[in-house]
């Protein structure tokens, strides 16, 4: 116990004090009451006793029997508190006496007129008249012990014990249950102490009760968090402030540095550089200007520098400046400025940059002038060259176009015109054989047959050639083509006349392509007819058609498992009239693939083939997803 410095001790003290006070007050009251009742009780008791005695002794008095009276008085021996007693006659004479103690010298005073009850010192004296039938027979007199002090002492002794015991019990109980009150307080106190010592505002007190202490805990905690926040905020803003200061210092240093740099730069530059105020008046000397234009400072200061430009240039500068007065922005002009050395105006580029101050207004203008005379000249010649070149290209192109056209018209008309004689040759041979069969022997017939077939072949060649040339002249009409439909149609057309050929035709789904419909019909016909033709010698011919969509193009393929070709000669495949098989092996003109190649390349695609001799060939061609526009 360390005195009254802790809440617990204070509480204890309070409890004890209240207890003691309550008990004391109670004690005092009880004592007072007891005292009062004691006296009253005594009085009543004695009075009653006197009455009883009086009643009993009445006859003795009435019938003058002092002995009987004395006998009655002797009964008082049973009440030791009564020290002495006496009965007086109605005339006030002592009738009978009694003395509780052995003391025979007890005084019996003269009795008062009326009943009395007096407390004298340690004695209480009572005298009560005996009345019967409205007659006073006599008086009873008592003298009894009055020792309230002893009683008081006893009483107080007991009370004292009670008090002590109660307080002791209080202390014990207190010690046991004080925790429920002081415990939470001590907890909060402990946390508070830690917070103060460690300056750790993240600590929180535990709320264990829902009374005022609980409220305290809540308030405490919220204050802590508030403090914590504020501290954090403060620290943050502190850091930011410091950072800003550092930045500012850095900026200031940088600015100083750049200023110095600029000044150095300006003086180091060989270009013409000038500085003007917001009105456009040159205020500082510019040696480069002087060197270039020949003007001296008095001449070019303020607005004098404008004079160095030619009349046109001057106007332009004034205009630009008037404009810039409203909208301060960098501007560039190409003007002619007097060049002192060569004594003529040179083309220069003038560039003026406004320096904006922090209010948004123009502090000053910085200008640079670049001599572009040489460049100008160069530009000029370049332009002329360009134009010439373009002209030449245009000429050449039109020449080529013309030549192309001529060529194609020529090949068209030639092949067209060639058809007629071939028709005649073949036709007349047929007629010959028909009409003069009798005069012809087998050999003759055979010879005519040769003429016929060869003529026919020439016709096919010419047809192919015709188609080939037509292709060149034809304009591409690109539409979205259902390639699958085209391939299917082509195949159907090809196999229509050969229903007994067993060919497995696998046609996958083909993506739509952008191209000329009739041309791609041709492509499918040619490729498929090739596939059919070259697999004609195989029992189980399979022709596959499929496609892959790549990022920028669709890649279609036609695969057959026919004769194939020697891949070493692959590059000749698409040449006009190029054949990799003899006519006896497989008939053909060699134009078909050239045609396909032409068509595909005109659409901006590529075509190639791979093969394994005897196992088949695959022809791939691509169609770009975006239309190529078609070359002429």
Quick one: which of 138, 328, 354, 426 contacts another protein (CB under 8 A)?
A: 426
- Answer yes or no: are the C-beta atoms of 474 and 519 closer than 8 Å: yes
Our CA dihedral for 442, 457, 559, 627, rounded to 10 degrees, sits at -170
Among the listed residues 62, 123, 277, 318, the single contact to another protein using CB under 8 A: 62
Q: How far is the CB of 333 from another protein (least distance, A)?
A: 58
Near another protein by CB under 8 A: residue from 186, 456, 478, 507: 456
* Dist. CA 596–CA 212, nearest whole Å: 100
Q: Which stretch binds another protein (CB under 8 A): 92-100, 203-211, 385-393, 460-468?
A: 460-468
Query: Which residues lie across from 143 on neighbouring strands?
Result: 84, 125
570: its two tokens: 């692959």
Q: Which of 42, 35, 95, 38 is nearest to 65 (CA)?
A: 95
Return d(Cα 97, Cα 138) in angstroms, integer.
Answer: 13
Cα separation, 296 vs 286, in Å, equals 9
Q: Which stretch binds another protein (CB under 8 A): 52-60, 307-315, 349-357, 613-621?
A: 52-60
Stretch that binds another protein, among 88-96, 128-136, 360-368, 378-386 (CB under 8 A): 128-136
DSSP β-bridge partners for residue 479: 515
Map residue 624 onto helix, strand or coil: strand
- In the complex with another protein, which residue's Cβ is closer, 55 or 576? 55
Site string for another protein, 67-106 (x = CB under 8 A): -x--------------------------------------
- Gap between the Cα atoms of 43 and 48, Å rounded: 8
Stretch that binds another protein, among 53-61, 168-176, 312-320, 539-547 (CB under 8 A): 53-61
Smallest gap from Cβ 59 to another protein, in A, equals 4
* Residue of 56, 131, 444, 451 that binds another protein (CB under 8 A): 56
Tokens of residue 338, six digits: 């007097």
| DSSP, residue by residue, 63-116 | TT-HHHHHHHHHGGGG-TTEEEEEEEETTS-EEEEEESSS-S----PPPPSS-E
Task: Single out the segment in contact with another protein by CB under 8 A; choices: 80-88, 362-370, 428-436, 614-622.
Answer: 428-436
Q: Is 133 in the site for another protein (CB under 8 A)?
A: yes
**116-120 and 616-624: which strand pairing?**
unpaired
The distance of closest approach from Cβ of residue 427 to another protein in the complex, given in angstroms and rounded to an integer, is: 3
Binding to another protein by residue 64, rule CB under 8 A? yes
Q: Is 419 in the site for another protein (CB under 8 A)?
A: yes
Question: Binding of another protein at residue 431 (CB under 8 A)?
Answer: yes
Asked if residue 423 binds another protein (CB under 8 A), the reply is yes
CB of 455 to another protein, least distance (A): 8
E strands present in 585-626: 607-612, 616-624
Measured between alpha carbons, how far is 526 from 609 in angstroms, rounded to an integer? 14
459 near another protein (CB under 8 A): yes
Q: Which of 2, 102, 105, 134 binds another protein (CB under 8 A)?
A: 134
Question: In this chain, which stretch among 59-67, 400-408, 481-489, 537-545 interacts with another protein, using CB under 8 A?
Answer: 59-67
135 binds another protein (CB under 8 A): yes
Inter-CA distances, 20 with 10, 25, 159, 203, Å? 15, 8, 11, 41
Distance CA 368, CA 286 (A): 11
Question: Would you say 65 or 123 has its CB closer to another protein?
Answer: 65
**Closer of 388 and 417 to another protein (Cβ):** 417
CB of residue 632 to another protein, shortest distance in Å: 18
> Applying CB under 8 A, does 63 fall inside the site for another protein?
yes
Half-sphere exposure of 352 (CA within 13 A, CB side): 25
Which one of residues 54, 58, 590, 592 is an interface residue with another protein (CB under 8 A)? 58
- Binding part of the chain for another protein, among 111-119, 133-141, 371-379, 502-510 by CB under 8 A, reads 133-141
Among 65, 115, 521, 610, binds another protein (CB under 8 A): 65
Give the 3-state secondary structure of residue 59. Answer: helix
Complex with another protein: residue 188 or 591, whichever CB lies closer: 591
Taking the least distance from each CB to another protein, the nearer of 62 and 123 is 62
Of 174-182, 417-425, 440-448, 576-584, the segment contacting another protein by CB under 8 A is 417-425
Helix 148-198 to helix 212-268 angle, to the nearest 10 degrees?
A: 20
* 119 three-class SS: strand
- The answer to whether the CB of 331 falls within 8 A of the CB of 340 is no
- Which residue in 73, 350, 422, 623 binds another protein (CB under 8 A)? 422
Q: Which stretch binds another protein (CB under 8 A): 172-180, 367-375, 419-427, 541-549?
A: 419-427
Beta partners for 125? Answer: 118, 143
Indicate whether 472 belongs to the interface with another protein (CB under 8 A).
no
Please tell me whether residue 427 binds another protein under the rule CB under 8 A: yes
Among 20, 31, 55, 266, binds another protein (CB under 8 A): 55
User: What distance in Å separates the CA atoms of residue 455 and residue 458, rounded to the nearest whole number?
Assistant: 5
Q: What is the DSSP string of 330-363?
A: -EEEEEEEEETTTTEEEEEEEEEEEEE-TTSSEE
Query: Phi, psi at residue 84, to the nearest 5°?
Result: -145, 155
Distance between CA atoms of residues 101 and 103, nearest Å:
5
Residues 6+ apart with CB under 8 A from 455: 422, 425, 426, 429
Q: Which range of residues in 64-72, 81-89, 155-163, 320-328 is near another protein by CB under 8 A?
A: 64-72
By beta-carbon proximity to another protein, the closer residue of 112 and 630 is: 630
Rank residues 253 and 423 by Cβ distance to another protein and give the closer one.
Answer: 423
Q: How many residues of this chain interact with another protein, rule: CB under 8 A?
A: 33
The footprint of another protein on residues 561-620 (CB under 8 A) is none
Q: Does 416 bind another protein (CB under 8 A)?
A: yes
Residues that bind another protein (CB under 8 A): 55-56, 58-60, 62-65, 68, 132-135, 416, 419-424, 426-428, 430-431, 455-456, 459-460, 463, 466, 470
């Amino acid at each position: 116990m360390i005195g009254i410095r802790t809440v617990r001790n204070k509480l204890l003290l309070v409890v004890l004090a209240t207890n003691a006070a309550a008990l004391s007050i109670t004690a005092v009251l009880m004592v007072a009451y007891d005292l009062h009742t004691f006296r009253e009780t005594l009085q009543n008791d004695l009075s009653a006793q006197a009455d009883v005695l009086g009643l009993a002794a009445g006859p003795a008095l009435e019938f003058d029997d002092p002995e009987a009276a004395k006998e009655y008085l002797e009964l008082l021996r049973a009440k030791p508190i009564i020290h002495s007693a006496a009965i007086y006659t109605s005339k006030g004479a002592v009738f009978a006496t009694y003395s509780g103690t052995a003391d025979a010298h007890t005084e019996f005073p003269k009795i008062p007129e009326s009943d009395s009850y007096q407390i004298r010192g340690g004695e209480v004296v009572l005298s009560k008249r005996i009345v019967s039938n409205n007659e006073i027979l006599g008086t009873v007199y008592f003298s009894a012990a009055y020792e309230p002090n002893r009683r008081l002492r006893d009483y107080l002794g007991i009370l004292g014990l009670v008090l002590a015991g109660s307080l002791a019990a209080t202390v014990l109980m207190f010690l046991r249950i004080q925790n429920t009150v002081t415990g939470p307080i001590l907890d909060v106190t402990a946390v508070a102490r830690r917070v103060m010592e460690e300056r750790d505002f993240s600590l929180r007190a535990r709320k264990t009760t829902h009374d005022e202490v609980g409220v305290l805990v809540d308030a405490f905690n919220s204050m802590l968090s508030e403090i914590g926040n504020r501290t954090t905020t403060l620290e943050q803003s502190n850091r930011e402030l410091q950072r800003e200061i550092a930045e500012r210092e850095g900026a200031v240093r940088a600015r100083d540095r750049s200023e110095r740099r600029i000044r150095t730069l300006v003086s180091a530059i060989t270009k013409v550089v000038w500085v003007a105020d917001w009105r456009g008046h040159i205020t500082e000397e510019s040696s480069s200007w002087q060197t270039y234009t020949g003007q001296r400072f008095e001449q070019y200061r303020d607005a004098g520098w404008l004079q160095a430009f030619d009349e046109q240039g001057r106007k332009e500068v004034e205009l630009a400046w008037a404009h810039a007065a409203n909208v301060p922005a960098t501007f560039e002009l190409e003007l002619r400025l007097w060049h002192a050395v060569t004594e003529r105006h040179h083309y220069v580029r003038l560039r003026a940059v406004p320096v904006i101050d922090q209010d948004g207004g123009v502090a000053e203008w910085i200008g640079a002038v670049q001599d572009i005379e040489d460049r100008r000249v160069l530009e000029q010649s370049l332009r002329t060259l360009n134009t010439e070149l373009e002209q030449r290209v245009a000429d050449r192109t039109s020449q080529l176009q013309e030549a192309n056209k001529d060529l194609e018209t020529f090949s068209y008309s030639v092949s067209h015109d060639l058809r007629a004689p071939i028709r005649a040759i073949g036709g007349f041979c047929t007629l010959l054989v028909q009409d003069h069969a009798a005069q012809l022997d087998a050999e003759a017939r055979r010879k005519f047959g040769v003429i016929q077939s060869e003529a026919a072949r020439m016709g096919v060649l010419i047809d192919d050639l015709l188609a080939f040339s037509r292709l060149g002249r034809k304009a591409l009409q690109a539409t979205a083509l259902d390639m699958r439909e085209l391939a299917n149609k082509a195949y159907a057309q090809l196999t229509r006349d050969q229903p007994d050929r067993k060919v497995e035709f696998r046609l996958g789904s083909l993506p739509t392509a952008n191209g000329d419909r009739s041309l791609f019909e041709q492509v499918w016909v040619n490729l498929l007819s090739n596939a059919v033709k070259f697999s004609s010698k195989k029992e189980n011919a399979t022709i596959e058609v499929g496609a892959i969509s790549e990022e920028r193009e669709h890649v279609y393929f036609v695969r057959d498992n026919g004769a194939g070709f020697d891949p070493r000669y692959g590059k000749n495949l698409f040449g006009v009239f190029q054949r990799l098989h003899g006519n006896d092996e497989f008939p053909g003109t060699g134009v078909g693939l050239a045609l396909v190649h032409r068509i595909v390349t005109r659409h901006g695609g590529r075509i190639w083939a791979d093969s394994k001799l005897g196992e088949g060939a695959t022809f791939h061609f691509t169609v770009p997803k975006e239309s190529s526009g078609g070359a002429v």
